[in-house]
Amino acid sequence: MEGMIRALTTRWTVFIPLLAAVALVATWGRSLPTAGVIVVAVFLAGSVLAAVHHAEVVAHRVGEPFGSLVLAVAVTVIEVALIVTLMISGGEKSATLARDTVFAAVMITCNGIFGLALLVGALRRRLAVFNAEGTGAALATVTTLATLSLVLPTFTSSVPGPEFSPAQLAFAAVASLALYGLFVMVQTVRHRDDFLPVEADGVVTDDDARDKRPSVRATLASLGLLLVALVGVVGLAKVVSPTIESAVANAGMPPAAVGVAIALLVLLPETLAAVRAARRDQVQISLNLALGSAMASIGLTIPAIAVATIWLQGPLVLGLGATQMVLLALTVVVGVLTVVPGRATLLQGGVHLALFSAFVFLAASP
């Protein structure tokens, strides 16, 4: 019976991403009736669950922190492609799209996923334990990237408005890519132990049981299906976005709320993977996913947008507003106070979730 259930699970995670890809091709660029939106939403949810499954297979094979890196980079690359596509077709209406999407990703990962992981970890055991050195380095990198790319444009004076001049944008792009590349090298090569899960007594553990790892063939299959599932997640999120836009407009909320809703859908695979890792007492993996996704979102999006501006028409607004900067600053301060001890209680998780709730509320009611 157990083998049958496992076989059914495997078949389900294979067929759903493929069917989601077919649904994406069939519905892309079309206006859908209510029944069509429901079908797309079902495939979207199935693609999210399938993506988490295949990401865990790949992570089990390559070990940590490579496993967290695979999911974070895969989601971000597809998200960046979607942003660039929307900016090309959106004209001046998409001037703030990159800023809103990147900021939403940072707040969702650094408060929503971060806080949820700490909360789940602390509920299982009195303390959620993680490696302060690695998590602190990741938080410092996210802070620097966010400040260089999203805060400085508000205060520069070469171009009127919260925009970078071409030279400033090029510098921010090169600095973002270099910092992200440096962090990946430190995370995966020179200081890999700083990003491995730790036990309650502070001992670093690498639970990569080599004799139980998936085969190379199974891993490559899961990697391919992971990419298909993620394309389905991002693409179907775009397909249902007109319905979301209509609902937001009917509710009287600002257009920025649409970006937040789509970002929440796109980041669902990381959220579910982080919660599942925290339930296994591997809070460090959850934090790797959260901060790694935030870092990849900035470190890959800004260079891609900088290259895209060669043929994009209209302004590119990257600078945050006053409310957004306050939320970012508060996130950084709270994050530092959470990370330094290397362990957290329910309170720290609740504080981060309160900041995430404030972000969502103020996006809907600025």
Question: What tens digit of pLDDT does each residue of 336-358 get?
Answer: 999 999 899 999 999 999 999 99
Top CATH class of 75-207+240-364 equals mainly alpha
Angstrom distances, CA of residue 273 to CA of 31, 108, 268, 313, 335: 32, 14, 8, 38, 21
The domain spans of the chain are 1-62+208-239, 75-207+240-364
Burial grade of 198 (CB within 10 A; 0-12, 13-18, 19 or more): buried
pLDDT at 243: 77
Q: State whether residue 344 is helix, strand or coil.
A: strand
Give the pLDDT mean for 12-39. 82
8 Å CB contact between 61 and 212: no
Write out pLDDT tens, residues 250-267. Answer: 777 776 776 677 778 778
Q: Give the integer Cα–Cα distance in Å for 104 and 55.
A: 23
Long-range contacts of 99-102 (CB under 8 A, 24+ apart): 99/150, 99/317, 99/318, 99/319, 99/320, 100/256, 100/259, 100/260, 101/259, 101/262, 101/263, 101/297, 101/301, 102/149, 102/150, 102/297, 102/298, 102/301, 102/302
Task: Locate 181 and state its tokens.
Answer: 């590349």
* pTM of the model as a whole: 0.80
Give the pLDDT mean for 82-104. 72
Asked if pLDDT for residue 169 goes beyond 80, the answer is: yes
Q: Which of 41-45, 54-58, 69-73, 334-338 has the highest mean pLDDT?
A: 334-338
Asked if pLDDT for residue 210 goes beyond 50, the answer is: no
pLDDT at 325: 95
pLDDT at 80: 73
Asked if pLDDT for residue 4 goes beyond 50, the answer is: no
For the chain, the maximum distance between any two Cα atoms, rounded to a whole number of angstroms, is 68
Angstrom distances, CA of residue 47 to CA of 16, 63, 80, 228: 6, 23, 19, 9
Q: Give the integer Cα–Cα distance in Å for 316 and 163.
A: 6
